[in-house]
Amino acid sequence: MKPELTHRQRLEACLARMPLDRAPVALWRHFPVDDQDPQLLAEAVLDYQAQWDFDLVKVTPASSFCLKDWGVTDEWRGNPEGTREYTHAAIQSPEDWLRLRPLDPGAAPRLAAQLECLRQIADKLDPQTPILQTIFNPLSQAKNLVGKNNLTFHLRRYPEAVHAGLKTITETTRRFVEAARQTGIAGVFFAVQHAQYGLLTEGEYAEFGRPYDLQVLEPAQSLWLNMLHLHGEEVMFDRFLDYPIAAINWHDRDTAPSLHEAQQRFKGVVCGGLRRETVVLGTPQSVQAEAQTALQATNGQRIILGTGCVTPIIAPRANLAAVRRSVSEKSQGGRE
């Protein structure tokens, strides 16, 4: 019987392809209403982790945390994912991209509040439990600044203006990553939403996405557990294999590549294996069955068991417990 590893040891062993006591597991979720106050969000994150003891804590603030200091507004309307609806876009005309100014994370109220949230979590969490801070890539932030239905039009019709805005967003986000690094996080959860063939061409992402992504990730390169999230369907998976990341999370049950295929192409760790629909609408038995197929497909190695995106806040407790049980020593098999 192998000795039980700490969360950090388990993830480090997973990255290094070393023998494991069990596969790592992590689910993360939004905390609506709580996410509007740094102390409340920190308490909600800590309570969730105390209940489920996942192998990493991915901090999930509202996506507007990085935008409200530029003037966007949003409100909670009951989305089952726990996300808020945007009610006012800061970019109303192409000229508004040019008016954006870089923010100081220590002085901008919403950015400073998120840094305080991270400090509170790090202060109270077991130091052997890695913390990831969600970072939306510049193009994702631009979408929410201009309104989700307007970004593609703007970048095709007013490319110079959008580039100017992306440069400002990138500078601000780099500063935030540098500040977040000082709180003791293990990595960033880098959320990319537009690397989908149904939204942009590879050429468009190469122009408007990749250069700014890499600039934002540069100050995170010293962190050991950076995770990329590729959101959506028909994602440009192979275009991200050289990013400075340790793990990739995507909707693997809904879009290519499969977990097994991804492990042939990516040298790091894959994160996924579970449909959100199964975790929300399935039974504990179906959740565990799905988890086992993911573990078998990867031989329980180089995988963090989880959902392909944020776990909806309406997921039943019994199903969350089933996810946690799925990585027990007895249930996995097939490992070294």
- pLDDT at 185 > cutoff 60: yes
Q: Is residue 275 part of a domain?
A: yes
Q: Is residue 215 part of a domain?
A: yes
Conformation bin of residue 280: beta by default, left when phi > 0, alpha when psi is -120 to 50? alpha
pTM: 0.97
CB-CB contact of 216 with 135 (8 Å): yes
User: What is the number of structural domains in the chain?
Assistant: 1
Q: Is residue 1 part of a domain?
A: no
CB-CB contact of 200 with 208 (8 Å): yes
Q: Which residue has the higher pLDDT, 336 or 312?
A: 312
Q: What is the pLDDT of residue 1?
A: 55
Q: What is the mean pLDDT of the segment spanning 40-48?
A: 99
Largest CA distance in the chain: 64
CATH of the domain at 27: 3.20.20.210
Q: What is the pLDDT of residue 174?
A: 98
How many C-beta neighbours within 10 Å does residue 328 have? 11
Q: What is the pLDDT of residue 334?
A: 36
Q: Is residue 97 part of a domain?
A: yes
Q: Is residue 184 part of a domain?
A: yes
Over the stretch 118-163, which tens digit does the pLDDT of each residue have? 999 999 999 999 999 999 999 999 999 999 899 999 999 999 999 9
Q: Is residue 34 part of a domain?
A: yes
| Sheet containing strand 227-230, strands side by side | 57-59, 131-136, 187-192, 227-230, 247-250, 269-274, 303-307
Over the stretch 243-256, which tens digit does the pLDDT of each residue have? 999 999 999 999 99
Residues present in the chain in total: 336
The pair of structure tokens assigned to 90 is 């800061």
Backbone angles phi, psi at 246, to 5 degrees: -100, -25
Using alpha carbons, select from 32, 50, 27 the residue that is nearest to residue 249: 27
Please give the C-alpha separations between residue 320 and each of 73, 121, 264, in angstroms, as whole numbers.
32, 22, 29
- pLDDT at 175 > cutoff 60: yes
Boundaries of domain holding 155: 7-332
Q: Is residue 2 part of a domain?
A: no
191 falls in which pLDDT band (50, 70, 90)? very high
In the chain, pLDDT over 90 holds for what percent of residues? 96
Q: What is the pLDDT of residue 2?
A: 62
Whole-angstrom distance, CA of residue 66 vs CA of residue 124:
24
Q: What is the mean pLDDT of the segment spanning 45-63?
A: 98
172 falls in which pLDDT band (50, 70, 90)? very high
Over the stretch 201-226, which tens digit does the pLDDT of each residue have? 999 999 999 999 999 999 999 999 99
CA angle 170–173–26, rounded 5-degree value: 125
Q: Is residue 263 part of a domain?
A: yes
- pLDDT at 330 > cutoff 80: no
- pLDDT at 267 > cutoff 90: yes
297 falls in which pLDDT band (50, 70, 90)? very high
